[in-house]
Amino acid sequence: MRQQFVAGNWKMHGSLAANAALLGEVLAGTTATRCDVAVCVPYPYLAQCQHLLQTSTVALGAQDCSVHASGAHTGEVAVGMLREFGCGYVIVGHSERRADHHESDALVAAKAQRVLEADMTPIVCVGETLAQREAGETATVVVRQLRAVTELLRQQSRRIVVAYEPVWAIGTGRTASPEQAQEVHAVLRAHLAQVGADIGAAVRILYGGSVKPDNAQVLFAQPDIDGGLIGGASLKASDFLAIVAAAK
């Protein structure tokens, strides 16, 4: 039985004051949650959030990492550094990074491997653009993105979390219907099951893309949807808590 998981992706939002207020409310509302909860925050706020979360069950995550372990890579942040600040999760391959920073499937896979080596869990994002969906390429695209990771990690693939995030649904207010999302999650799970039956059964696949309090429950009720990666709605405590409450 997979425990459902709701992770907030704060993206490039926040301030010391806003983070303290947001996490104060989130912590007060997550004392008895049934699912796992995490927040993935901007690098400069890791220390603050580590401190604020230290006695809570809400886990801390980062939104990216370097593929390098250390060295002359100005501006990059190594997985070892993220670990030192208490991160349990690192998002890799978010569509904004794939698009804005030309991150390839191979680079995303190598980052996922680095995250595992540092004893954290990569949240591996996959998803098609609107043009790819309209061309009937959704399954091909998402399986290609995931295969790059599973081929590199093999049996270690059981330790990842996958997030299906259709690019056309991120930050747009357009959500995949529960049927559309379930169809793609089933394709992803079938791919994982080819890597190993236990891997297909164990890996959590989150849905992301304009998840809100009013659509979370029906999305999370789909058999292959194990929770959500939440962008905009994770910045408003009442919305994030309502989404967490919708998880099983």
Return phi, psi of residue 247, to 5°.
-75, 150
Residue 209 as a binder of ligand PEP (CB under 6 A): the answer is: yes
**Nearest-CA neighbor of 64 among 35, 95, 86?**
95
Q: Which residues contact 86 (CB under 8 A, 6 or more apart)?
A: 46, 50, 53, 54, 60
Judge contact between 7 and 218, C-beta under 8 A: no
Residue 171 as a binder of ligand PEP (CB under 6 A): the answer is: yes
Q: How far is the CB of 209 from ligand PEP (least distance, A)?
A: 5
Please say which residue, 115 or 195, places its beta carbon nearer to ligand PEP: 115
Cβ count near 138 (within 10 Å) = 21
Using CB under 6 A, which of 39, 176, 230, 246 touches ligand PEP?
A: 230
Return phi, psi of residue 126, to 5°.
-135, 155
Please say which residue, 96 or 195, places its beta carbon nearer to ligand PEP: 96
- In the set 96, 103, 128, 165, the catalytic residue is 165
Please say which residue, 165 or 226, places its beta carbon nearer to ligand PEP: 165
Using CB under 6 A, which of 121, 145, 157, 210 touches ligand PEP?
A: 210
Q: What is the residue-wise DSSP string for 117-149?
A: HTT-EEEEEE---HHHHHTT-HHHHHHHHHHHH
26, amino acid identity: V
Per the annotation, the verdict on 165 as an active-site residue is yes
Q: Which residue is nearest to ligand PEP (CB)?
A: 231
DSSP 1: -
Q: What angle do CA 80, 9, 43 make, to 5 degrees?
A: 35
Residue 24 as a binder of ligand PEP (CB under 6 A): the answer is: no
Per the document, the length of the chain is 248
Residue 14 as a binder of ligand PEP (CB under 6 A): the answer is: no
Using CB under 6 A, which of 4, 5, 8, 9 touches ligand PEP?
A: 9
Binding segment toward ligand PEP, per CB under 6 A, in 24-32, 52-60, 185-193, 229-237: 229-237
- In the set 94, 96, 128, 185, the catalytic residue is 94
Residues designated as active site? 94, 165
Question: Given the rule CB under 6 A, which residues bind ligand PEP?
Answer: 9, 11, 165, 170-171, 208-211, 229-233
